[in-house]
Amino acid sequence: MAFIPTVDAEKCEGCEECVDVCPTEVFELQDGKAVPVNADECLGCDSCIEVCEPGAITVEET
């Protein structure tokens, strides 16, 4: 089972909450937007979804 986190850049406000909360450091801020640079490390814990106020993050289970 794998998890694929994605960020809708149109919705992302660059608050960095997902960068701070993710236990496996999936996200990095690039030009004010969160980018899932280590998507392969995602554990599917959904913590990033919970802290993202604008609802920019989706974690797909494959």
The one among 2, 30, 40, 54 contacting ligand SF4 by CB under 6 A: 54
Look at the alpha carbons of 44, 48, 51, 52 in this order and tell me if their dihedral is positive or negative.
negative
The one among 4, 28, 35, 47 contacting ligand SF4 by CB under 6 A: 47
Look at the alpha carbons of 9, 11, 12, 17 in this order and tell me if their dihedral is positive or negative.
negative
Tell me which residues in 6-25 interact with ligand SF4 (CB under 6 A): 7, 12-18, 21-24
What is Dmax (Cα atoms) for the chain?
A: 31
Binding site for ligand SF4 (CB under 6 A): 3, 5, 7, 12-18, 21-24, 26, 34, 42-48, 51-52, 54, 56-57, 59
